[in-house]
Amino acid sequence: MDLTDTDVTGKPASRARRPAKIEPGVPTSAPSALPPVTSSPLATPTLTAGVASVTHLTEKLSEYMTAADLKKVKEAYRFSDEMHLGQVRKSGEPYISHPIAVAEICADWKLDAQAIMAALLHDVMEDQDVKKDELIERFGAPVANLVDGLSKLEKIEFQSQIEAQAENFRKMLLAMASDVRVILIKLADRLHNMRTLDVMTPAKKRRIASETMEVYVPIAHRLGLNNIYRELQEISFSHLYPLRYHVLAKAVKAARGNRREVVKKILESVKNTLAMAEIEAEVYGREKTLYGIYKKMRSKHLSFSQVLDVYGFRVVVDSFPNCYVALGTLHSLYKPMPGKFKDYIAIRKLNGYQSLHTTLIGPYGTPVEFQIRTQEMHRTAESGVAAHWLYKTGDINLSDMQQRTHAWLQSLLDIQQQTGDSAEFLEHVKVDLFPDSVYVFTPKSKIIALPRGATPIDFAYAIHTGIGDHTVSVTINGEPSTLRSELRNGDIVEIVTDASSRPSPSWLSFVRTGKARSAIRHHLRTINLPESIALGRQLLSQALASVSIDPDLPEPLAERLLNESSAKSMDELYADIGIGKRMAALVARHIFGLLGGESAAAPVDHNSAAELDPVTICGSEGVSVQLAQCCLPIPGDAIIGQLRRDQGLLVHTSDCSVAKRQRQKEPDRWIAVKWGADINRRFDSRIKLLINNEKGILARVAAEIGESDGNITFVGMDEDKEHVLHQLRFTIQVKDRVHLAGLLRNVRRVAGVNRILRERS
């Protein structure tokens, strides 16, 4: 049964021919010949670039679809062919060849009829202005929702290309969260576009390849679609660095002949050894991708010959126990390298991947890497979430991998609810698209997978947002640790919470996961919103005064400003300024341009902070204004303010070395600040004493601090048994600089104190 009664370039019978449209996207000619990547018989088939065949698609679908489903797909094909009639790709081929090719890739995964129909229709809303209601009427709501999730937001006007791209990704990822078929079809669409990228201009090739490497490659890896992950990576590499790619391709081709004898010897030895142990297994060599070689050379500073001297083999056995039996058999054949064994079967990777990895010393002293897995594990390794397709059966019991995937997709919805705009949403999602993970345990032995470099705060938010929001301390492997400690594989982490505790802006400087980052920012926006609005209004008023504009903006001007800044209200705009997301000086310059100033893009004077009225610091502003821990400013100190993105205003002393370094990097984020006249609170300050190691000295110093109206919050001693003098450190609370100076004079008179000073950054 064929999908159509006419050829793909034939004219439709029922609808008027649409005007021809040259597709600016991608051509259909194949890229430069890629070096073959050795694949197993179980690997997901891939589509050869070129004009797709309707007959070939029909044959694939007939293998697993019913006649009724095929009939629905046929209707979708005819509609798509009719809509795209007259539209051609840049290579000159009929545009319908692209939807057919995307559908063929989806058919390789044996996706259901709804997904295949959506693949055939995925461009009709974007290119031909077909309404969603029409798709619902003709093909049903599920298909229409899939197509809608795949369509770009062409109708909305955006401030920039970056903002438009971020909003498109946001829509696609949220649609994916409700139905993972959206991203599978999108990956198939991107794969065919990448296979047919050659006719584009070099600049556009690089842009599309960079976007693919940055977003689609990690998504494919996160979903366990390793075949697509490797192919997208390889093609992107060929367009981003064409010279490096061709040099490596030539070198690999030349080296294959020299390696053939060693590979043959290892294969024969391994097969014979496994046969003697009565283990049924398929054994074949794994050839590194060019990007894999390039990445390893760059990251480990290795030469080409050093990378290629490592041989890789895959052993696919018939049962789970035989994975470990085969491992022992191989270890008896060749000696294992210490520290080079990883058990991803007992603790699988975040994307569901399972295998035993071991590196042995083979013949001639060459390292040999083995991956040992079952056929089921291999299918999962190659096709990921598509290996156990959720929609092709009525089974409601999800596999472990599907549960992990759906948990990640659900986290996208959580991030969406806590995120202010599309660019930030995409930023958080990118953080979670990581290839490496660490695996840590809860006190009840539940495994939590986190990105490398994650902290206890990331762990707390991975368990539940409520736990993260109320975290106060942590113990790692039974020992108290700091909240910014880097977690390592196998750590047992226990979080201590307090109902009165709240997230700190400083957490944003060390958390790694998108969920933790978005939850902290959400808290800072909502709980402290009045403080952020007040600070933002003050900052904008001062910035407007610098360009001689009345801070009380007329209503028409305010509405125009909101429309052009994508803010919903002036309070939202003020809050964005107060938390450092927008720069008050830049907003003021924009208003200056709206009023018909000399230049809407007037240059920003990075030193203008000194010319504006300083922001007054009273010490009671809440978390929208923070005192820097590096220098701990107190009233009386000369101070300066740093506007940090989504963290509000950070106040440093003017002579702080940390502030000086950061001001050189981002001079436009610094503003003038001053202390208020009536400050009724105490401030932390650090002091350091050089003392004689004698009886009662600590008590005498502490008593003098108390008599000087100081409050001790921390005390520590640097002990050195080889010296008579010791260093004593205090964190004390004082009213201001005058109070601190008096306290230092009093403590200096204590017997046994040789020297005392205020400790700076």
Catalytic positions are: 126-127
Q: Say which amino acid occupies 495.
A: I
Sequential DSSP letters for 607-626: TGGGTSPPEEE-S-SGGGEE
How far apart are the C-alpha atoms of 672 and 538, rounded to whole Å?
13
The closest of 95, 147, 101 to 125, measured between CA atoms, is 147
**How many whole angstroms from its chain centre is CA 325?**
38
Sequence-distant (≥ 6) Cβ neighbours of residue 146 within 8 angstroms: 114, 115, 118, 175, 179, 181, 182, 185
Q: Which residues of 86-116 are buried (b: 16+ CB within 10 A; e: fewer)?
A: ebbbbeebbbbbbbbbbbbbbbbbbbbbbbb
Sequential DSSP letters for 100-164: HHHHHHHHHTT--HHHHHHHHHTTHHHHH---HHHHHHHH-HHHHHHHHHHS--TTS--SSHHHH
How far apart are the C-alpha atoms of 392 and 400, rounded to whole Å?
17
Q: Alpha carbon of 487 to those of 432, 456, 475, 506: distances in Å?
A: 16, 7, 11, 18
Structure tokens at 161: 């290309």
How far apart are the C-alpha atoms of 587 and 540, rounded to whole Å?
8
How far apart are the C-alpha atoms of 573 and 558, rounded to whole Å?
10
Residue found under tokens 């005058």: 738
Sequence-distant (≥ 6) Cβ neighbours of residue 463 within 8 angstroms: 442, 448, 495
Element spanning 338, H or E:
strand 335-343
Structure tokens at 49: 């670039």
Are 715 and 729 within 8 A, CB to CB? yes
How far apart are the C-alpha atoms of 73 and 81, rounded to whole Å?
12
Pairing of strands 648-653, 683-692: unpaired
Residue found under tokens 């982490």: 493
**How many whole angstroms from its chain centre is CA 219?**
10
For the chain, count helices (H), then strands (E).
29, 21
Q: Alpha carbon of 17 to those of 3, 9, 12: distances in Å?
A: 20, 12, 8
Q: Is 497 left (phi over 0), alpha (psi -120 to 50) or beta?
A: beta
What does the radius of gyration of the chain's CA atoms come to, in whole angstroms?
32
Q: Give me the sign of the Cα torsion angle 507, 508, 513, 517.
A: positive
Q: What is the DSSP letter of 399?
A: -
Are 450 and 460 within 8 A, CB to CB? no
How far apart are the C-alpha atoms of 519 and 466, rounded to whole Å?
10
